[in-house]
């Protein structure tokens, strides 16, 4: 078998659409790939016109591919070999490779794609030549097989792909700026964070807890969820705040609206964190009418006054669908661990059709805004890292009080 260079080739589909910004998107994707793959796993990573090429170190090929499965912005990827643009070379390499572990015994569909239209290695010609040597090949050919080999002549040589693995899609994290994700520790908000990241948003997590101190061991469930989500973003910032100042401002007569007032409080905190972090959006795990506090009226009156754009990626999802996705992305098992939530908010008869002006009045009467401003001083900010990282998180007190 001719020696050819083994590489992993990454393709980026939707990024093609981005016109002038395309260069930035691709540079961001390359950066995210470098951060996602294990340290020391590659010899080089290069961006070509329409793909990113990774030259793996020996024994790292599969670990790199596993890592790429978590990177947003990739439409497909796979192991490939680069040979000269020469039909003799292509055929002899394919014959040798077909008898190796990588291809022997497989039943494959041969796809051809000529990136360089001036190349004489036109698709029908290539397939015809391969068919001529089919009795010498270690694999079978079947045009209905889902197992694909792709022969792709380009100006940089002919790429022989031995697979096409589906990427996670979306846009590279960071390409859409930052968003504050309100993370509750329930099932929904981690899924919302996932969808925000999928569209290129770098998450800054904000959690409001029921403890007096910012005790990270008591909120370990939240940091565990963030660690799982960090697989998709290579780290994030996490803010934690106590809820007691809010709780002490609420009176019995507000109980039917307590959850809505809590949300107003959360959005005030989220706005302040967004200012601090230069974030554009605030993301929640709300879904229309999933519970009393999420009727359209309540979504409206609980977020009125918020200064940043509020994104609710799960608006149109059923709970059962959200649970399936939470399982798929790896957060479900941690989300269902018992955890002491903020207040109980078990109003016997929660308002389902709140009137915005009424909630506005209560918000002012209870001085929620002041409670949020005072709570800002009680928070901490942590740097979180993907689980592979050994670095210890940096914890920063937002004030010395």
Judge whether 177 and 202 are in contact, CB under 8 Å: yes
Residue 395 CB coordination number (10 Å):
13
Q: If residue 397 lies in a helix (H) or strand (E), which one and from where to where?
A: strand 395-397
**Who's near 361: CB < 8 A, 6+ residues apart?**
none
Nearer to ligand ATP, 176 or 284 (CB): 284
Q: Which stretch binds Mg ion (CB under 5 A): 52-60, 114-122, 183-191, 208-216?
A: 183-191
Nearer to ligand ATP, 187 or 359 (CB): 187
Determine which residue in the list 69, 96, 138, 186 makes contact with Mg ion, applying CB under 5 A: 186
Whole-number Å distance between alpha carbons of 386 and 36: 9
Residue 229 binding partner per list ligand ATP, Mg ion, none, with a CB distance cut-off of 5 to 8 Å that depends on partner kind: none
Nearer to ligand ATP, 261 or 342 (CB): 342
Whole-number Å distance between alpha carbons of 5 and 3: 7
Residue 72 CB coordination number (10 Å):
23
Instruction: Rule CB under 6 A: say whether 169 interacts with ligand ATP.
Output: no
CB neighbour class for 379 (10 Å; exposed up to 12, middle 13-18, buried from 19): buried
Determine which residue in the list 32, 158, 176, 189 makes contact with ligand ATP, applying CB under 6 A: 189
Nearer to Mg ion, 133 or 336 (CB): 336
Q: Which stretch binds ligand ATP (CB under 6 A): 10-18, 66-74, 122-130, 187-195?
A: 187-195
Determine which residue in the list 184, 243, 335, 351 makes contact with Mg ion, applying CB under 5 A: 184
In order of 3, 4, 12, 23, the CA distances from 87 in angstroms are 15, 14, 28, 33
Determine which residue in the list 69, 138, 169, 186 makes contact with ligand ATP, applying CB under 6 A: 186
Q: Among residue numbers 334 through 373, which ones bind ligand ATP (CB under 6 A)?
A: 342
Q: Which stretch binds Mg ion (CB under 5 A): 112-120, 178-186, 267-275, 297-305?
A: 178-186
By C-alpha distance, which of 310, 266, 319 is closest to 288? 319
Q: Which stretch binds Mg ion (CB under 5 A): 122-130, 175-183, 186-194, 384-392?
A: 186-194
CB of 71 to ligand ATP, least distance (A): 25
CB neighbour class for 71 (10 Å; exposed up to 12, middle 13-18, buried from 19): buried
By C-alpha distance, which of 205, 207, 187, 203 is closest to 195? 203
Contact residues: ligand ATP, CB under 6 A? 182-184, 186-189, 206-208, 266, 284-286, 290-291, 293-294, 342
Contact residues: Mg ion, CB under 5 A? 184, 186
């Amino acid at each position: 078998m001719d020696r050819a260079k083994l590489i992993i080739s990454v393709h980026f589909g939707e990024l093609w659409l981005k016109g002038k910004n395309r260069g930035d998107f691709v540079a961001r994707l390359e950066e995210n790939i470098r951060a996602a793959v294990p340290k020391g796993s590659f010899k080089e990573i290069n961006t070509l016109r329409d793909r990113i090429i990774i030259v793996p170190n020996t024994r790292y090929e599969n670990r790199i591919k596993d890592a790429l499965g978590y990177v947003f912005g990739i439409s497909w990827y796979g192991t490939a070999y680069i040979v000269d643009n020469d039909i003799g070379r292509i055929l002899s390499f394919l014959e040798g490779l077909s008898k190796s572990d990588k291809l022997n015994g497989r039943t494959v569909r041969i796809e051809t794609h000529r990136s360089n239209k001036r190349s004489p290695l036109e698709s029908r010609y290539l397939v015809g030549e391969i068919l001529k040597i089919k009795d010498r090949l270690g694999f079978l050919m079947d045009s209905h097989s889902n197992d694909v080999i792709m022969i792709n002549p380009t100006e940089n040589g002919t790429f022989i792909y031995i697979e096409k693995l589906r990427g996670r899609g979306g846009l590279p994290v960071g390409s859409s700026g930052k968003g504050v994700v309100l993370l509750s520790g329930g099932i929904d908000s981690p899924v919302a964070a996932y969808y925000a990241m999928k569209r290129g948003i770098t998450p800054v997590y904000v959690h409001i807890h029921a403890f007096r101190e910012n005790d990270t061991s008591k909120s370990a469930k939240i940091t565990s969820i963030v660690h799982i989500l960090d697989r998709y973003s290579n780290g994030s910032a996490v803010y934690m705040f106590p809820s007691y100042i809010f709780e002490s401002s609420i009176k019995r007569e507000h109980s039917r609206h307590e959850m809505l007032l809590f949300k107003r409080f959360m959005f005030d905190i989220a706005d302040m964190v967004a200012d601090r972090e230069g974030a554009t959006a605030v993301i929640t795990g709300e879904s229309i009418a999933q519970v009393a506090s999420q009727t359209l009226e309540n979504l409206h009156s609980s977020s009125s006054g918020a200064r940043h754009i509020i994104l609710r990626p799960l608006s149109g999802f059923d709970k059962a669908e959200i649970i399936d996705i939470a399982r798929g992305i790896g957060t479900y098992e941690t989300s269902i661990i018992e955890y002491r939530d903020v207040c109980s908010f078990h109003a016997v008869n929660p308002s389902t059709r709140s009137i915005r002006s009424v909630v506005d009045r209560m918000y002012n009467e209870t001085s929620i805004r002041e409670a949020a401003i005072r709570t800002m001083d009680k928070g901490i900010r942590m740097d979180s890292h993907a689980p592979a990282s050994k670095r210890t998180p940096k914890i920063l007190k937002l004030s010395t009080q």
